[in-house]
Amino acid sequence: MAATAVAAASRTLFLCRSKLVYPSKSFIHRPKRFFIFSRSSSSSQATLPSLSVSPANVIEVLQERGLLDAITSENLRSVASTSNLKVYCGFDPTAESLHLGNLLGIIVLSWFQRFGHRAVAVIGGATGRVGDPSGKSLERPELDTQTVEKNCSQISDLISKILGRRSSNSHLDSRKDANLMDELGENGDSSEKDAILKTKQDDSFVILNNYDWWKDITLLDFLREVGRFARVGAMMAKESVKKRLMSEEGMSYTEFTYQLLQGYDFLYLFKNMGVNVQIGGSDQWGNITAGTELIRKILQIEGAYGLTFPLLLKSDGTKFGKSEGGAIWLSPAMLSPYKFYQYFFTVPDVDVVRFLKILTFLSMEEIKELQEGMGKSGYVPNSVQRRLAEEVTLFVHGEEGLAEALKATEALRPGAETKLDAATIEGIAEDVPSCSLAYDQVLNSGLVDLSVSTGLLSSKSAARRLVKQGGLYLNNQRVDSEDKTIEDEDIVDGKVLLLSAGKKNKMVVRISS
Ligand SMILES: Nc1ncnc2c1ncn2[C@@H]1O[C@H](COP(=O)(O)OP(=O)(O)OP(=O)(O)O)[C@@H](O)[C@H]1O
Ligand SMILES: N[C@@H](Cc1ccc(O)cc1)C(=O)O
């Protein structure tokens, strides 16, 4: 559905191509008070803002939370207080899902949304075919058309769910239609306006695909209308180019051009949609300034701004990304909400406060209280991590995803009261080892034998020792007897059983039909 919306929105924009629609002054308006931060009492409703604050500046908020690396002009601070901005972030479809590093772009867009600005997510259906050299020591592998299209649609769905969830709870809804038409400028015809209205998931954000404006631009158009204004010296001085030119492989002309593609996107969006801010990770600085420079040179107009945020790093200084393996994927198809939740639940104490500031919308006061609590006697280990895990899981996976993660977490706790059902066990099966056995192989077999034959434990003596120590569980119930055999009622819903050796070592046994 979202993909259709993207395509339709992009088609609509195409109609605007020939027209210059400058950012309309008439949507410059600031509401007096906003509800911006997450609720402090109930985490299950954390996206419902509750804390009323005087109109803080979104740029200051980003800065105090460690989400600001650089801005292209200090004027952005005052413009952000006096105007409704349209802020865009691009995402290249280099994988089926975005990951935790990419989440920062969505979070910063969401901060702008919370302050009444509009968010625009651009999926790089065109740029993804070229490959951004920023931060990369090697040329990106080429993606085939089918993969690019599939990735675009999945990433679009993902962003739409996250930003849409936030805005459906927004206290800003009352302002819904007030300024929407102004975005199109006075020149926009009514069919364009209607189409944009229909294709926007709601008025606080829109998702576009840059292939829709790139697919009809010829090389000659590009060289004449864009290339002419780009200075090779300035292009060579960009960090992404300098680094690559020093490497043995050098850089292809294709990747060298990338900065101009992204630069033109900004120009196109500025001209046709009034998008006046581009955000990105610090490695995007060169591409973002390529856009502001093109806007200044071609349109001879000021008023386009760039903002970068620092790259999110692990405590060992490495970047959260996808190449090094163990990526924290945002799509539930690639990482279950349970596993996503568990990642945050187990982050080291040294990281937890930094992550709360960057990855959640809790107020700084609440974060300070949580931090102080960590140093007090009686602090229950990982309680702050629990809060972090709940907030981030709720933002990315919604109420349902959080409920699924909490249910699986509770169900997987040895000794938990919760009665396990087959669906819950299946839900965690992808995250723990599993095996399949025939009903006859399981029924009446000794638990000690089963623990060894399934590979949960290495020997029967280890299994017996564990029973004596009270550490062997069947469906989360502690097993007291070494002679325990599997009965029909132990097989949950006739389909599955869960063996646990201590807290972490688990095995899901499926009954094969
Ligand atoms: N850890 C991070 N923190 C903040 N932003 C990030 C992070 N990782 C990626 N980004 C942003 O997402 C953009 C796209 O990242 P992309 O997924 O293409 O590469 P990547 O995750 O850096 O991949 P890889 O792990 O392969 O290096 C980056 O240019 C950057 O601006
Ligand atoms: N270059 C960005 C993606 C992007 C694509 C197109 C844009 O217009 C902006 C950003 C990245 O690698 O993540």
Decide whether any atom of ligand 1 lies within 6 Å of the 104 Cβ: yes
Decide whether any atom of ligand 1 lies within 6 Å of the 124 Cβ: no
CA 343 to chain centre: 15
Stated pTM of the model = 0.80
Contact 279, 87 (CB under 8 A): yes
How far apart CA 436 and CA 442 sit, in angstroms, is 10
Give the residue among 327, 405, 313, 321 at the shortest CA–CA distance from 355. Answer: 313
Alpha helices per DSSP H over 169-238: 180-183, 190-199, 211-214, 219-225, 232-236
Lookup: tokens for 265: 């996107």
Indicate the pairing of strand 472-474 with strand 496-501.
Answer: antiparallel
200-253 pLDDT, tens digit each: 446 889 999 999 999 999 999 999 999 999 999 999 999 989 988 888 889 999
- CA of 493 from ligand 1 middle (Å) equals 43
Whose Cα sits closest to atom 8 in ligand 2?
262
Residue 243 has, within 13 A of its CA and on its CB side, a CA count of 13
Contact 395, 360 (CB under 8 A): yes
Whose Cα sits closest to atom 7 in ligand 2?
90
61-115 pLDDT, tens digit each: 999 999 999 999 999 999 999 999 999 999 999 999 999 999 999 999 999 999 9
106-164 pLDDT, tens digit each: 999 999 999 999 999 999 999 999 988 888 878 888 889 999 999 999 999 999 999 99
- CA of 108 from ligand 1 middle (Å) equals 15
Pocket probe for ligand 1: among 102, 140, 289, the residue whose CB has the most ligand atoms within 8 Å is 102
Interface confidence, given as ipTM, is 0.96
Any residues with Cβ below 6 Å from ligand 2, and which?
90-92, 122, 124, 127, 132, 210, 262, 265, 284, 287
Segment 387-405 shows an average pLDDT of 96
How far apart CA 159 and CA 453 sit, in angstroms, is 44
- CA of 323 from ligand 2 middle (Å) equals 17
